[in-house]
Amino acid sequence: MRTRTARARGLRLVSAAAAVPLVLAACGSDDGGSAGGSDPVRISFLTHWGPEQVAMLEEAATEFESEHDGAIEVEIRAVPFANLLSTLRTQGSSANGPTMASVYDLWLAELVRDELAAAAPDDIANAVTDAWPDNLVAGVTKDDAVRGFPNEVNLYALNYNTALFDEAGIEAAPTTWAELSDAADAISALGDGRQGFGVISSWPAGTVHPWLSMVASNGGALLDAATPTLDTPEVAAVAELYAELVDSGATVPTMSGANANTTGPYLDNFVNEKTGMIIMANWWKGALQEAMGDRFDDVAVAPIPVGPDGTSASSVSYSWLTIVNGNARDEQQEAAWDFLTWLNGDTSGADGSSAMGDILMSMGILPSRTSDLEAHADQLAEPFLAAYVDLLPDATPFPSVLGGEEMTVALQQQLEQLLFGSVDPATAMDNAQSEVSSILSAKE
C-alpha cells in the first residue's frame, strides 16, 4: 500500500514536471509595461517596410523615447507585405499584439467592424482633419470616427521606356486608347521578344488596379455605392481592349507574372527593356531605380490613356494609414496616439517635414500630409514623381468595403482568364459582376 502511494506520488510528480514547462510556455506576459507603475509603457509598431525604412523608424522611435525620458518604449516589428494582414489576424487580438500597425485602407472596414482600429481621441481627430487633405481624411474615417493617421498615397500612371519609344519611332506618350494600341504594336514589331504593353498577373492589386485605372479613364467605375457596375459598356470596353492587345501580340501575358515579393517577370521585363509600357504605381520607383541604374533615366511617366467614353485621364489611388489597436490597454493606446502624433507631426522630421514624411520619401512614396508635400516639394518636382503628383487630384480611390480583398481576387481571376484566352471579354465581365455581387451581398 505504501509502495503504491509512493508510486502514485511519483506519477503525479512526473506529470507535474512535464506540465510545468508547457504551462509556462502557454502563459506569456502581456509585455505592455505596468499600468501606472514606474515601468515604461511598452508599445509596438507593425510595418511591412524594408530594412532601410525600419532603421529610420527605429531612429525616430529612439528620439521619441528620449523626449519622454524613457516613460514610453517603442518596439518596431517588421514583416513582409504578404504577411502583414496575416500577422494582424493572428496577433491583433492577443495581449502581445502590435499596439500600432500600418494598414492598407482596403482592410479598414473589417478592422473597424472587429474593433481592432480604435477611434482617435477628439483632439487627434481634429489635428488629422486640419493637417491632411479632405479626401484622405475621408479615407481614414469610418463610422464617423477618424481611425488613424493617413500615411502614403499610391496611384497609377503609364510608365514607358523612352529608349524603346525612340527605337520604334514613337514621338510622344499615348494619350488615348487608339494611340496606346498603335504604340504597343510598334514596340512589339521591334521583335527580340518584346511586348508593347505589359499587364501584370498573379497579383490581385497588380492586376486589378491598372485595369481599374483604365476603366476610370473611360468613364466607368467598379462600384456604385455597394453595387458592382462591371456590366456597363465603359467597363466592358477595357476588357475588349485587353483582348485586342493580346490578340495582336502587343501584350504577352506570360511576360508579366508577379511573385510573393510583388516582383518577378513583370518588373524584370520592364527593367530589361522587353516591355515598352506598363501601368504601375509610384511606389515601385525605388525598385526600378535600383534595378535599372543609369537606365532609369529612360523611364518616363504619363497619365492613363483616355478611353473613347472618357473625358480625362483618371487613376486609381489607394492609401495606407497607421491605426492604434483597439485591444491594447488604455495607457498603451494613449502612448501610441502620442507617438503617432509626434511621428506624423511637422517637428519630428527635417526642414518642416514629419519623420513619417521623410521615411516615405526615402522610398519614393508620396506622403499625404499637406506640410510634408510642401517640405518635400523639391524632391516631388523630379520628373517621375511629379507626374504622379499632378494626377493626384483626379485620382479615384479604390473602394474600401467589407469583402474588398475577396472582391479584388475575384476580379483578378476573371481578368487573368481573359488575358490567357480562357473566356471572352463579355463572359469575363459577366462572371466578375456575378461574383463580386455575391461577395458583397454576403457581407451585408
Partner 1 sequence: MTTDVHTGTPAAPGRTRRPAPARPSERRWAAIFLSPAMLVIGIFMVVPILLTVWISLHEWSMFTSLGDMTWRGLDNYAGLWSDAGFRNSLRNTVLYVLLVVVLTIPLSVLLGLLLYFPTMRGKAAIRTALFATYVVPTVAIAMVWGALYAPTYGPFDQILGAVGITGIGWLSSPDTALISLVVFHVWQMIGYYTVLVVAGLTQIPGELYEAARVDGAGFWRQTTSLTLPMLGRTMTFVVLIAVVNAIQVFDPIYILTQGGPAGSTEVLSFTIQRTAFEYGLAGQASAMAFSLFLLMVAVGAALMVAMRRRR
Dihedral through CA 420, CA 424, CA 430, CA 434, nearest 10? -30
Number of neighbours of residue 93 by Cβ within 10 angstroms = 14
Tell which one of 274, 285, 369, 376 touches partner 1 (CB under 8 A): 274
Q: Give the DSSP letter string of 279-310.
A: EEEGGGHHHHHHHHGGGGGGEEEEPPPBPTT-
Which residue, 107 or 165, has its beta carbon nearer to partner 1? 107
Tell which one of 65, 68, 79, 93 touches partner 1 (CB under 8 A): 93
Which residue, 15 or 379, has its beta carbon nearer to partner 1? 15
SS3 content of the chain, % helix, strand, coil (to 5): 50, 15, 30
Number of neighbours of residue 90 by Cβ within 10 angstroms = 11
Which residue, 203 or 342, has its beta carbon nearer to partner 1? 203
Distance (Å, rounded) from C-alpha 385 to C-alpha 360? 13
Q: Choose the stretch contacting partner 1; rule: CB under 8 A; options: 55-63, 81-89, 145-153, 172-180.
A: 81-89
Residues 171-210 that bind partner 1 (CB under 8 A): 193, 201-203
Q: Is 416 in the site for partner 1 (CB under 8 A)?
A: yes
Which residue, 269 or 319, has its beta carbon nearer to partner 1? 269
Residues 366-405 that bind partner 1 (CB under 8 A): 403, 405
Min CB(393)–partner 1 separation in Å: 31
Q: Choose the stretch contacting partner 1; rule: CB under 8 A; options: 11-19, 231-239, 280-288, 381-389.
A: 11-19
Distance (Å, rounded) from C-alpha 47 to C-alpha 262? 16
Distance (Å, rounded) from C-alpha 5 to C-alpha 3? 5
Cell of 349: 522630421
Q: Which amino acid is at 88?
A: L
Q: Is 88 in the site for partner 1 (CB under 8 A)?
A: yes
Contacts of 386 (CB under 8 A, 6+ apart): 380
Which residue, 113 or 390, has its beta carbon nearer to partner 1? 113
**By the criterion CB under 8 A, which residues form the site for partner 1?**
7, 10-11, 14-15, 18-19, 22, 82, 85-86, 88-90, 92-93, 110-111, 113-116, 193, 201-203, 253-260, 264-265, 268-269, 272, 274, 403, 405-406, 409, 412-413, 416-417, 419-420, 422
